[in-house]
Amino acid sequence: MNPTETTAWKSLSEHRREMESVHMRDLFARDPERFKRFSISFADTLFDYSKNRITEETLRLLFDLADEMDLPGWIERMFAGGKINVTEHRAVLHTALRNLPENPVYVDGENVMPRIEAVLAKMRDFTRSLHRGDLRGFSGQAVTDVVNIGIGGSDLGPHMVTEALKPYHRRGIRIHFVSNVDATHLMEILRRIRPETTLFIVASKTFTTQETLTNARSARRWLVEFSGSEDAVTRHFAAVSANPEAVWKFGIDPHNRFDIWDWVGGRYSLWSAIGLPIACAVGMEAFEELLAGAHEVDEHFRGTPFDRNIPVIMAMLGIWYRNFFGAPTHAILPYTEYLHLFPAYLQQLDMESNGKSIDRDGNRITGYQTGPVIWGKPGTNGQHAFYQLIHQGTQPVPADFILTLDPQNPDGDHHRILTAHFLAQTEALLKGRNVPEALHRAFDGNRPTNSILIDRLTPRSLGRLIALYEHKIFVQGIVWNINSFDQWGVELGKQLAGTILEELRSDTPLSGHDGSTTGLIDHIRRKK
């Protein structure tokens, strides 16, 4: 179904014209209840969406659009294990990973909950041994450093969460993340650790990802050189993968493999054993708190009417700006340093999910846009870098401002200053400033923002925050009629890189490339 053919889409196009001349300043002036009307409290999170270019009518039409695209039906299909990832014939069940064990979820007639519980139990044993100092390397010394080797979803999620939960880290264990195939990434970490006390987790769902396997082989070589024996690999390597044969071939003890399944998408996998480095950092109890927070949001998403449903509202506001105001990007601006990787994590989550131009029925999409570019950085740093464009640029940039209220590092007036900036920015974007005598100093205002206020950044509240965005992305994918759960767009580059790698290794004449690529390869070969 093409969303532009719905009745709601047509009404929204008309409504957009009516809203052109409406300034949010006036909407607030007219309605003293606007903040109350357009904000929702959920657990320790306040979601304020009143600073948007919307009225009750806008929301009604947006919810009509979601209904016409059968959002309620799709939500149920996802949670029930329907194979909604149609191009890969897979269920989409990251929600099962944080489900209560007594609630069965079926894939091909099998309840997947016991498998999930078994992996959680294995993670519990493993992390308990690590934290007790019982995990020992080839020399008998206890493991002190864990290096996660993975990329994309096997890196960004666990890395972001591990950074965000630094105040919860267990003493005596340091966690490192290697993702880039640029050897610098690995080498800079190897310089800081000792082979005798290091555990490598090779995190790769497919166990075929070239970057990860290259890094893992180099790490193994480093270990074996120091230890003098291949035997050390058993004690120093674990894997998270759905590919047992490849793990075994690599030389990792099958007992040290943590399972993951095809119904867990890479970018949705931090809740699975891909989250093992998180559990190594903060302990299994805190990891399960993270799961519990996400589960709360799953329940909220599944059971709340659209007009009180935070992910649905976040998604439909995004659609309002992307499709009816032509906003090409969406900014994520966390005012808490611990969330500094959150924008980068959301980039993969959102852009790999919704950066699509073929619809769910296999047709090329024409007449509407799909996923925006996601970007951002923590405030206040961003204020001194790119906020100029958000305030005065020619394109609208809807933005999510995220603030935690209870600072983890209270010191003097820092947090009050941070909070003042947070509030000042969203107010300035809303109100603008009229300076008729000097237009360059004037601000139009009327620039939309959401404010997400979280009492304290805990494993549970972080679980909630991430799940809100996961479901937001799902809703947008449904409305745009795309499959948010495949990623065929990454394949061509991988294939070409394979051919080019062979050409870089040899001097054989080049063929089949465009002139630019041929010229560049020639240049690189001469320089080497």
Q: Which amino acid belongs to residue 493?
A: G
Radius of gyration of the chain measured on its C-alpha atoms: 25
In whole angstroms, what is the distance from residue 278 CA to residue 163 CA?
9
Least distance between ligand F6P and beta carbon 136 (Å)? 28
Report the SS3 class of residue 32: coil
Q: Find tokens 């044993």 and name the residue.
A: 125
In whole angstroms, what is the distance from residue 75 CA to residue 92 CA?
11
Dihedral class, residue 362 (left if φ above 0, else alpha if ψ from -120 to 50, else beta): left
In whole angstroms, what is the distance from residue 213 CA to residue 204 CA?
9
291: tokens are 């799961």
Judged by CB under 6 A, the stretch of 148-156, 381-389, 401-409, 462-470 that binds ligand F6P is: 148-156
Judged by CB under 6 A, the stretch of 149-157, 309-317, 318-326, 373-381 that binds ligand F6P is: 149-157
Report which secondary-structure segment, H or E, holds 198. strand 198-203
Task: Give how many residues touch ligand F6P by CB under 6 A.
Answer: 14
358 DSSP 8-state letter: B
130: tokens are 């690590």
C-beta of 54 vs 270, nearer to ligand F6P: 270
Q: Rule CB under 6 A: is residue 154 a binding residue for ligand F6P?
A: yes
495: tokens are 């294939």
Least distance between ligand F6P and beta carbon 489 (Å)? 9
C-beta of 481 vs 487, nearer to ligand F6P: 487
Report which secondary-structure segment, H or E, holds 334. strand 329-335
377: tokens are 């950085």
Least distance between ligand F6P and beta carbon 491 (Å)? 8
Q: Rule CB under 6 A: is residue 490 a binding residue for ligand F6P?
A: yes
Question: What character string, x for contact with ligand F6P (CB under 6 A) and - otherwise, covers 469-488?
Answer: ------------------x-
Contact between 504 and 524 under an 8 Å Cβ cutoff? The reply is yes
- Say which residues have a Cβ less than 8 Å from residue 226's Cβ, sequence separation at least 6: 195, 196
Site residues for ligand F6P, 173-232, by CB under 6 A, read 204-206, 209, 212
Q: Which of 247, 245, 266, 242 is nearest to 200 (CA)?
A: 247
Site residues for ligand F6P, 245-264, by CB under 6 A, read none
Judged by CB under 6 A, the stretch of 11-19, 145-153, 309-317, 433-441 that binds ligand F6P is: 145-153
Q: Rule CB under 6 A: is residue 266 a binding residue for ligand F6P?
A: yes
C-beta of 209 vs 227, nearer to ligand F6P: 209
The backbone torsions φ and ψ at residue 57, rounded to the nearest 5 degrees and listed phi first, read -65, -40
C-beta of 69 vs 260, nearer to ligand F6P: 260
Whole-angstrom CA distances from 286 to 40, 161, 168, 275, 481 are 26, 11, 8, 11, 37
Judged by CB under 6 A, the stretch of 111-119, 146-154, 189-197, 420-428 that binds ligand F6P is: 146-154
Least distance between ligand F6P and beta carbon 125 (Å)? 23
C-beta of 216 vs 312, nearer to ligand F6P: 216
Least distance between ligand F6P and beta carbon 185 (Å)? 15
Q: Which residue is nearest to ligand F6P (CB)?
A: 266
Least distance between ligand F6P and beta carbon 105 (Å)? 22
CB atoms within 10 A of CB 9: 22
As a dihedral over the C-alpha atoms of residue 351, residue 352, residue 354, residue 359, rounded to 10 degrees, the angle is: 150
Q: Which amino acid belongs to residue 22?
A: V
Q: Which of 59, 147, 151, 216 binds ligand F6P (CB under 6 A)?
A: 151
Least distance between ligand F6P and beta carbon 150 (Å)? 6
Question: What character string, x for contact with ligand F6P (CB under 6 A) and - otherwise, covers 74-93?
Answer: --------------------
Least distance between ligand F6P and beta carbon 275 (Å)? 13
Site residues for ligand F6P, 329-358, by CB under 6 A, read 352
Q: What residues act catalytically?
A: 352, 384, 494
C-beta of 309 vs 354, nearer to ligand F6P: 354
136 DSSP 8-state letter: B
Least distance between ligand F6P and beta carbon 257 (Å)? 14
Site residues for ligand F6P, 373-432, by CB under 6 A, read none
CB atoms within 10 A of CB 436: 6
C-beta of 135 vs 202, nearer to ligand F6P: 202
C-beta of 350 vs 352, nearer to ligand F6P: 352
CB atoms within 10 A of CB 11: 15
C-beta of 204 vs 461, nearer to ligand F6P: 204
CB atoms within 10 A of CB 141: 12
Q: Which of 303, 297, 324 is nearest to 98 (CA)?
A: 297
Least distance between ligand F6P and beta carbon 204 (Å)? 3
320: tokens are 């309002």
Q: Rule CB under 6 A: is residue 152 a binding residue for ligand F6P?
A: yes
In whole angstroms, what is the distance from residue 513 CA to residue 212 CA?
27
19: tokens are 């809203």
Q: Where do contacts with ligand F6P occur on this chain (CB under 6 A)?
A: 151-154, 204-206, 209, 212, 266-267, 352, 487, 490
